[in-house]
């Protein structure tokens, strides 16, 4: 069945702009990105939108639909109120470039601030052995498609731009957690305490476990329960538990 849906899209450049409304034909089973493509093809060829795979795997088409951070290619029209316009805005936490495109460079800067995996001394790749539960933990975190919806939704930066410099955000705190919980990571032997650096360098204290990041993650990664809370516990242990502190000093994890 073909119907007409109203798209209300924020259009502008560098943060200056206004909403524009369009009526666009929609077919059964379509997603929001289908309508955006039809709009580009028929009425607004200059509309800026970022996308790539149309399969929920590249993380490019992140925007806000009716005020909620979502992937445009994975948001079915049937899941939205049929009698109301579909309101599309760019990710709010990042600087606007044009229309639905934002500058997500902040995230790449934060990624570079997390020191890489330190290989265990004396073992070559291929000789590493890990318990299956440790493999499964890393695999869950590595499902991340870097859509940055979690970064966009976290109130620590969404409503507080001034925190951007000090807060790595859930995606990159999850990366710190992955490495801190990794049984083969030898960062401690280089003097790097990842859990403490999460607190002192990457702003873990800004997170008050509201779980909004987990709710919007299209890969259903349990960011808060499996990464942020364990990281907070480990950071507290390292700081306040004298036995854990001593163990870390002498190389016991």
Toward ligand F3S, which CB reaches closer, 71 or 207?
Answer: 207
Strands 86-89 and 62-65, how do they pair? Answer: antiparallel
- Which range binds ligand F3S by CB under 6 A, 28-36, 121-129, 175-183, 208-216? 208-216
Q: Phi and psi (nearest 5°) for 133?
A: -65, -30
Q: Pick one of ligand F3S, ligand SF4, ligand FES, none as the site partner of residue 71 (Cβ within 5 to 8 A by kind).
A: ligand FES
Q: How far is the CB of 153 from ligand SF4 (least distance, A)?
A: 8
Q: Pick one of ligand SF4, ligand FES, ligand F3S, none as the site partner of residue 144 (Cβ within 5 to 8 A by kind).
A: ligand SF4
Q: Is 188 in the site for ligand F3S (CB under 6 A)?
A: no
Candidates 60, 89, 224, 226; binder of ligand F3S (CB under 6 A) is: 224
Q: Is 11 in the site for ligand F3S (CB under 6 A)?
A: no
Q: How far is the CB of 244 from ligand F3S (least distance, A)?
A: 23
Toward ligand SF4, which CB reaches closer, 114 or 147?
Answer: 147
Q: Is 69 in the site for ligand F3S (CB under 6 A)?
A: no
Candidates 44, 154, 179, 198; binder of ligand F3S (CB under 6 A) is: 154
Q: Is 198 in the site for ligand F3S (CB under 6 A)?
A: no
Q: Pick one of ligand FES, ligand F3S, ligand SF4, none as the site partner of residue 224 (Cβ within 5 to 8 A by kind).
A: ligand F3S
State the CB neighbour count (10 A cutoff) for residue 18. Answer: 7
Are 90 and 102 in contact by the 8 Å Cβ rule? The answer is: yes
Q: How far is the CB of 208 from ligand F3S (least distance, A)?
A: 5
Of 53, 38, 29, the closest CA to residue 7 belongs to 38
In our burial notation (b when 16+ CB lie closer than 10 A, e otherwise), range 90-121 reads bbbbbebbbbbbbebebbeebeeebeeebeee
Query: How large is the angle between the packed helices 170-180 and 105-112, nearest 10 degrees?
Result: 20
Q: Phi and psi (nearest 5°) for 79?
A: -90, -5
What gap in Å lies between CA 230 and CA 236, rounded to an integer?
10
What gap in Å lies between CA 24 and CA 203, rounded to an integer?
44
């Amino acid at each position: 069945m073909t119907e007409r849906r109203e798209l209300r899209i924020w259009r502008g450049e560098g943060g200056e702009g206004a909403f524009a409304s369009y009526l666009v034909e929609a077919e059964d089973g379509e997603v929001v990105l289908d309508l955006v493509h039809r709009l580009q093809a028929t009425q607004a060829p200059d509309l800026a939108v970022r996308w790539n795979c149309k399969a929920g795997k590249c993380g490019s088409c992140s925007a806000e639909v009716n005020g909620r951070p979502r992937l445009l290619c994975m948001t079915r029209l049937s899941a939205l109120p049929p009698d109301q316009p579909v309101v599309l805005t760019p990710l709010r936490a990042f600087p606007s470039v044009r229309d639905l495109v934002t500058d997500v460079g902040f995230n790449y800067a934060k990624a570079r601030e997390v020191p890489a995996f330190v290989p265990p001394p004396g073992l070559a790749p291929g000789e590493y052995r890990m318990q299956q539960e440790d493999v499964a933990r890393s695999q869950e975190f590595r499902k991340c498609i870097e859509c940055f919806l979690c970064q966009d939704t976290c109130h620590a930066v969404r409503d507080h731009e001034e925190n951007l410099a000090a807060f790595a955000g859930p995606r990159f705190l999850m990366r710190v957690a992955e490495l801190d919980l990794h049984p083969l990571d030898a960062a401690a032997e280089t003097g790097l305490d990842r859990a403490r650096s999460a607190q002192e360098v990457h702003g873990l204290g800004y997170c008050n476990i509201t779980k909004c990041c987990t709710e919007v993650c299209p890969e259903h990664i349990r960011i808060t329960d499996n990464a942020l809370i364990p990281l907070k516990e480990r950071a507290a242990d390292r700081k306040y538990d004298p036995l854990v502190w001593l163990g870390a000093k002498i190389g016991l994890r």
